[in-house]
Structure 1
Amino acid sequence: TSTRIQFSWKPQGGTGDSPYTVRLLGKPGEVEKRILNETSTAFENLLSGHQYQISVDVSTCSKNVSTSLTVQTAAEIYIGTTRITNEDFNPAYQNKSSREFMEFENKFIMEITKHLPQKIQELKNGTKLRIVINSIKEGSVIVLFVIVLDVEQNITKTEISDAFTEALNSTVFEVDLKKTVVEARNSCQPGLNDCDQNAACTAEGATYSCRCNQGFTDKSPQVPGRVCQQDLPSQQTTPVPPDANTTKTTGFTGSTSNSVFTTTFTSAPCMPVSVEVQNVTAEEIHISWTSGSKGSLYNISVRDGRQEINKTTTKETKAVFKHLLPGHVYNISVAVSSCAENNQTSVTVRTDPASCFKITEFCSAESTGCSELKGIVCSKNQALACSVLLKSRTFNNTLYNSDSEGYKALAESIKTDVVGGMRAELNSDRFDIVVLGFRPGSVVVDFLSLLPKEEPVDVHFIETSLSKILRNKFGNETEVIVQCK
């Protein structure tokens, strides 16, 4: 229905295994999870016209088996566009998370609702109808919005169009009626329906229907075109007796609101996840990942040392972690949620430490940021924050991840040459460095040069010596900056 998904499943060709882990995923990070011994459940109070992914996982024969299905709750959906001439465009409107966007959206919806016919107002106030702004564009202010109506509300397409056009013309907004349109959405556009990939979609007013293509059998005939299974070629076959050595497969047959789907898995459904760090700042880490397990749910974990500070499940293949500490090391792991923990892939990343060394009283008790680096810098050492630009090198994203072979090789190469060369220059075997990380442009290396506190330090001499050593290794265009801490 518009607000409820009923779902059941059973193992194929054998006895039931339990417990089952059932997940409902809406938008990223929004998950309902249930551990059940039963083989059916229902999710209620859902949004109409919204796509949800349902997965069922079970461990069988020491292996994880999973199946999933995308289901869209029923709705009639209309799209609207209007141009408001007495409002000035604010660049913040381009960000749907901004306070300005949300304030405008609330005002827009409230104004329209006040001037709708009572019948439609009651649907809006009773959560049978909702209005959502998709985007706000410049010129003066152009609003693109969506009207989502629960099915079977006995409202015609003409009633919706006329009611919203008249309401817009009655608000505090001055609207350009020539630039105002409210019409049924074509839900057969990609991503706007839950038809099977082997089904044809037909727009029917503000909703749609699906029908399996020729050569495919509809496995959910009561809700057609959602699960289409390819027909087997017609040919004579000779029965083969069961072979005790044949590898068995395990799967589920499930149903959602009178629709049925069948999925069969081989004994090893878990595919490796490949994680790539896309960008790192002082307070954010951006990652993406790929997997052979299409349409999977993923468990994402962020650890600060031994402590897990963030855990989420998503069907997206990218994530941004915000409000992190600068110059701090985090371990991020990604795994297909139906797979065992030892199938996870992790990266280790240090946030950009540059801002740490701009703090004047870095080692004072009042300075609470960059705590991890303070342990290195402010103990028994004199520390020099060093930044080296290697113009002869090209940055690649594996250099964000200190677990990668590329990171380890470059860090070890720099450490070996710099430590050996500087100990000879200073005539001291107590000089050392700590590589903090790499940044793009071409390749920027951040590291700490460490000397005992009792030894005198000439920053200019250190910088000159480091430049000579690193230019000898990486070329004359290498640039070195040294900052005493």
Structure 2
Amino acid sequence: MKALFMLGRLLLFISSIRSGSIIVDFNIATNTADNLTVSNVQQAFTSALTNSTTYTVDPTSYKFAVQNVCATANPCSVYASCISINGVASCQCLSGFNDTSPSAPGRTCVDINECAASTSPCSSLANCTNTIGSYQCQCLSGFNDTNPSVPGTTCTDINECAASTSPCSSLANCTNTIGSYQCQCYPGIQDGNPSNPGQQCIDPVTCFNSTTLCSSANTCLSNTGTICANKKVIPFGIKFNSWTFTTDLYNQSSAAYANLSAQFTGGVVSAVRVTLSDSTFNINVVGFRPGSVIAYFIGTTQSSTLDTSTIQAALLNAVSLLVSSNITNMITYGNTTPASSSDPYYGWRTAVIVIGVFLGVALLLGAVLAAVCNYTRRRSGRYKPGTW
């Protein structure tokens, strides 16, 4: 041991000297190449202390133990594990780190960017975020994580259209796509925000009432001018309890819409005309809506003597006989007087017409008078009085 000490291959460090009588704490460091064991060191130092002629040493105070070098002077990287074996530190880079100093293992450990690897550790439907010594996976928006134990490795598409609350308007079709969905207002329904389709679908039937039916602001009808040219315009609604609504009934160009409309504009119109003795009576179908199926239509006539209740009774009877008897009583939305009450320019237009008539008559009379005067002047110019 002395020879090793003299060669600098064995070092002794006194860490403290304490009272009682004197207690010396010291550390012994040896070269790993000499393969000294705790037993070798303990035997040599015990013998030397026991046989010392300089000090009287308490033989029961000897305590020799291998120091945990990892706890006192860890030489490893902070990203490495350290194991103390017989006072020697053994270092190894942690998982997720590359060892860039293989000659001195575990001294220099560099983070591995797993997300930059050719094969991502996450699902192709997930975001990969590199972290120190690891990574994180998170399923993309629109996908469910079906593995909680290893998030982001198994991501499945969410069918938003199958949710209890649809992300689209109630008047729109919802189509599921991979990671998202698409909304589109039903044919026949107006889209109030085409830049974000299917979210603000406007039902044109909502403006179907007597106060705005014949106004210029009405958007329900494309043929307002023709309808409101009649003397009596009556909006009606009737519910068919045994019918089932399908979305193609929103679309005026669909076969279902055309077939159902034909039952009103054909047989029902003919029957009501006979009942009322009114060949001018007609029906314009506005639309069909769910619940079970509600038909909205307008009854028109050029007759000024027929009252609304008479027309309603004739309609109800014809519908019950020719269309369906399982109906909820017809709703009348009120009688509309097409001209003065609904057209804000009616009075002005009437005044113009009256003035036009008077001007026409005046011009005609002026022309007649001018012709008479001209004729009289000609006759006067040719007359020669005789000699008395």
Same fold (TM over 0.5): no
Task: Identify, as 1 or 2, the structure richer in helix.
Answer: 2
Max Rg structure: 2
**TM-score, normalised with respect to structure 1:** 0.24
**TM-score, normalised with respect to structure 2:** 0.30
Relative contact order, higher structure (CA 8 A, sep 6+): 1
Task: Identify, as 1 or 2, the structure richer in strand.
Answer: 1
